[in-house]
Amino acid sequence: MNIFLHELKAYRKSTMIWTVSLAALIVFFLSMFPGLTQDADQFKKLLENYPEAVRKALGVSLDSITSLLGFYSYGFTYVILCGSIQAMNLGTSILSKEVREKTADFLLTKPVTRKQIVTAKLLAVIISLVITNVIYMAIAVITASVVSEKSFDMNTFLLISLTAFLVEMMFVALGILISAAASKIKSVLPISIGTVFGFYILNMLGSVIGEKAICYLTPFKYYETSYIIKHSSYQVSFVFIEIVLIIAAIAASYVIYSKKDIHAV
- CA-CA distance, 183 to 181, in Å (whole number)? 6
pLDDT of residue 217: 85
Helices and strands counted in the chain (H then E): 12, 0
211 within some domain: yes
- 265: pLDDT strictly greater than 60: no
For 225, residues 6+ apart whose C-beta sits below 8 A from its C-beta are 59, 73, 76, 160, 163
206 within some domain: yes
Pick from 206, 231, 235: nearest CA to 223: 235
Eight-class DSSP state of 212: G
Q: Is 237 exposed, middle or buried (0-12, 13-18, 19+ CB in 10 A)?
A: exposed
174 within some domain: yes
265 within some domain: no
pLDDT in tens, 10-50: 889 999 999 999 999 999 999 988 877 777 677 677 766 76
Question: Mean pLDDT lowest for which of 34-48, 126-140, 161-175, 179-193?
Answer: 34-48
pLDDT of residue 26: 94
Compute the average pLDDT of residues 202-213.
76
Pick from 67, 92, 128, 104: nearest CA to 262: 104
17 within some domain: yes
Compute the average pLDDT of residues 183-198.
87
User: Percent of the chain having pLDDT more than 70?
Assistant: 84
pLDDT of residue 107: 63
- CA-CA distance, 205 to 64, in Å (whole number)? 22
The whole-model pTM stands at 0.89
Residue 224, φ and ψ in degrees, nearest 5: -70, 125
Q: What angle do CA 53, 59, 60 make, to 5 degrees?
A: 85
Number of independent structural domains in the chain = 1
More confident residue, 79 or 262: 79
- CA-CA distance, 201 to 142, in Å (whole number)? 31
Question: Mean pLDDT lowest for which of 86-95, 116-125, 211-220?
Answer: 211-220
The torsion defined by the Cα of 255, 256, 257 and 258, in degrees rounded to 10, comes to 50
pLDDT of residue 176: 92
Pick from 176, 195, 177: nearest CA to 85: 195
64 within some domain: yes
DSSP string of 104-140, one letter each residue: HHHHHTSSS-HHHHHHHHHHHHHHHHHHHHHHHHHHH
pLDDT of residue 170: 95
73 within some domain: yes
Domain of residue 55 covers 2-259
- CA-CA distance, 109 to 129, in Å (whole number)? 29
For 10, residues 6+ apart whose C-beta sits below 8 A from its C-beta are 124
pLDDT of residue 17: 95
